[in-house]
Amino acid sequence: MDEKSVQTSFEIIAMSGNARSRAYEALGYAKQGDFEQAKSAMTEAQEATNKAHAIQTGLITRAARGEELPLDILLVHSQDHLMTSALAIELIQELVDLYKLRATDRGERA
């Protein structure tokens, strides 16, 4: 495992973790009826995921060019983090939308 591979893996893990944390914060805001804060947190979650995806895309591009890349358990682990974060964001956005719909149906400010 070389230093660059370790750094890349940890960047993906950190950004993915941040994305997941912000998405769960958004869910908390939605539960409280604060949909502006929920929207802001979801935007930040998506931005963090986009950054992690950009790193992943860079790795895929390098591999497609024929560059030999080290494949180690840490890189695999980082990909797991990225994919679970992406899934969490998608599902949490649906939950936020449901909370907003429920608030609207009750006549609350959404």
Helices (H) and strands (E) in the chain, counts: 3, 0
Measure the CA–CA gap between 73 and 103, rounded to whole angstroms: 44
56 Cβ contact partners less than 8 Å away, ≥ 6 residues apart: 12, 79, 82
Q: Structure tokens of 7?
A: 């750094």
77 noted as active-site residue: yes
SS3 2: coil
Catalytic entry in 39, 51, 53, 77:
77
Residues with a known catalytic role: 77
